[in-house]
Chain A
């Protein structure tokens, strides 16, 4: 760039003269800017094409961060990183097998029973309290009957749907395998990656990088692990109550609750609504049991589990968390909803650490020199020498 200051005429008031800088954009700068823009466009196109792989990589990294405390504790016992990762893997595989053995046959039985019981359930819709008449007006029973009747046909008219089932099963298996492999790779390689990052920044900035990585680890790891644990607990609760109360498709409702529980603010309602609706098909008694369980568990989760397990790992207000989750879900589906909040929380924590953003309600302490508040306490940065 070539700059050349000059002075324009004075304003009508007694304002000081404004300096005008005339600039020429030289060809070298223009070429560099063009190259950078083309590179950015190419990178975005590549990211769009490889969005599935990127999702697996990001999810795997986040899961690895969530599992890191367990692996680190085991590593202190067995003194070998690979052995600690191996033990965690074996426990994970064992739990998956146990859940699969317990849930899949039950889910299949429930699904088959649901198809058989569909006509009876449809009849009961008319008797449902409050909404029964309205659902009949909307022809809900006929529509459900049609859907259940057409279901085997949809799967079996020709081989194309069967290929679709195989393809989607294969796709799901690939995604699960790739994510698990990424988790293991990051767990095995974590120290090396951190060292590599440290080497890539100039020496005076390495302490700052360490602090940023600590914030990422504490925020993302704790939020992600806590949210997953709470979602699993909610799903288990729904499964147990659903099976005991004879709610149809209880395993499906439990899986749905696990997924929706990861969406803040509205996730609990979304998950519980299906459970209560399924319970309502079994009569008023089951409806009341489902409703009471759902409401009581929500209170327990919001007031006890959430503060204990997740706490203030992510220092974001409720509307911001909800907007972040909705935007994340719109962009990348469930993984996006899951990832958006910890990433936003981490960005905010780092911005606070850098002094770009003021923390909520922390103005007085800021003037006293304590700028980061909760995160500093969470990371115990204040106690560092």
Chain B
């Protein structure tokens, strides 16, 4: 078949040998980098956690450095932070242990009562030999919580200790060298955009820092209130309940209620319907206070991070690296939203788009 006169044939693309070699090198580099990433997942997690911690602690270090030597300020802040986390973990474990002791005496009795109740569920429990099973489970639970057999528990504790040590050292390094690394990264941006980008990143950092700092303070306040509530209602493991509620309170608008569900469940099961209603009212009041006092002031002053982004970040981070991963992912998400808020034009309530950000001025750091 003959092509019509003047018809164009598509051009051929011909790669030179050098290009093929470059392509092969790219393929090899990708495979090697993927292998290294896979092997170093935990270490990279520590690096990201240390970077986030350094970014959070740096303003505190700067504030302290005005009164003492910078090296001492870094040591005080990092050691103080590690000590605080350690104390919280210690309180949680101790509380869990005493709660477990209490459970060990009450749960088999409750199982025995259920077996003797004569109801359909009692018959099923008796057939299942529930009391013996519960006793065996509770005898074995401390070892399971510690990480399995004594050898495995020691290995798990050692692994966590190494992680904390390395993350702390990396945090100290990054507090010292972080600003220089950021300046180095910004130098890679063409000069015409550098100044603008630098200002935006700095503003976003200040907004994100304020948001995260207030959320942390709020988490501590919520943990203390829920701890007090759990103690007042004589619920088991009140410190753990407080820690859970405090941790989930970082999700705006619904985190406090979500984190207080164990309190409500225990209040209903252990103390009955009246206590459940009382605890429910207290939790809802706390959530409303958060929405009215904290969120209404915090979002305009810092960055508007809604519950969907917060929750998605916490869920993904927790799936990847556990509870610490959730906290780091939330902080990174807040920073990403802050960068977007600085960079993107504002959208009015009616949906119209106005060019130029309508944000409040970025807050000053300590």
A-to-B contact residues, CB < 8 Å: 5, 8, 13-25, 27, 30, 33-34, 37-38, 41-42, 45-46, 49-50, 52-54, 56-57, 82, 105, 108-109, 112, 152, 155-156, 158-159, 162-163, 166, 177-178, 181-182, 184-186, 188-190, 192-193, 195-196, 198-200, 203, 206
- If A16-B9, A23-B19, A25-B22 touch, whether A155 touches B29 (CB-CB below 8 Å) is no
Output the nearest chain A residue to B254 by Cβ-Cβ distance.
Answer: A184
- Seen from chain B, the residues whose Cβ lies within 8 Å of a Cβ on chain A are 2-3, 5-16, 18-19, 22-23, 25-26, 29-30, 33-34, 37-38, 120-121, 123-124, 127-129, 133, 136-137, 140, 144, 251, 253-254, 258, 261, 291, 304, 306-312, 315-316, 318-320, 340, 344-347, 351, 353, 355
Does A189 contact B307, Cβ atoms closer than 8 Å?
A: yes
Given contacts A23-B19, A108-B120, 20 further A-B contacts (CB under 8 A): A13-B3, A16-B3, A22-B15, A24-B18, A25-B18, A34-B26, A50-B320, A57-B312, A82-B291, A105-B120, A109-B120, A112-B120, A159-B133, A177-B258, A185-B312, A188-B308, A190-B308, A198-B353, A199-B344, A199-B353
- Give 10 CB contacts A-B under 8 Å: A15-B9, A19-B12, A33-B26, A45-B38, A57-B316, A182-B311, A188-B308, A193-B306, A199-B344, A200-B344
A43 to chain B, nearest CB (A): 11
Please report the C-alpha to C-alpha distance between residue A23 and residue B261 in the assembled complex, in whole angstroms.
63
Q: How far is the CB of B207 from chain A (nearest CB, A)?
A: 15
Name the B residues within 8 Å of A196 (CB-CB).
340, 344
The listed residue (B7, B124, B307) touching A188 by CB distance below 8 A is B307
Whether the pair A185, B307 counts as a contact (CB closer than 8 A) is yes
- Closest CB in chain A relative to B212 CB, distance in Å: 19
Question: Count the A-B residue pairs with Cβ separation under 8 angstroms: how many?
Answer: 173
Known contacts A22-B16, A38-B34, A108-B120, A54 near B316 by CB under 8 Å? yes
Q: Are A30 and B23 in contact (CB under 8 A)?
A: yes
When the two chains form the complex, which single residue of B5, B10, B22, B308 contacts A189, counting CB atoms closer than 8 Å? B308
B261 contacts A156, C-beta separation under 8 Å: no
- How far, in angstroms, from A162 to B128 measured CA to CA in the complex? 10
Which residues of chain A come closer than 8 Å to B12, judged between CB atoms? Answer: 8, 18-21
Closest A-B pairs by Cβ, 9 of them: A50-B319, A189-B306, A185-B307, A189-B308, A19-B11, A25-B19, A53-B319, A199-B344, A53-B315
Partner of A16, one of B8, B37, B309: B8
Contacts of B37 in A (CB 8 A): 38, 41-42, 45
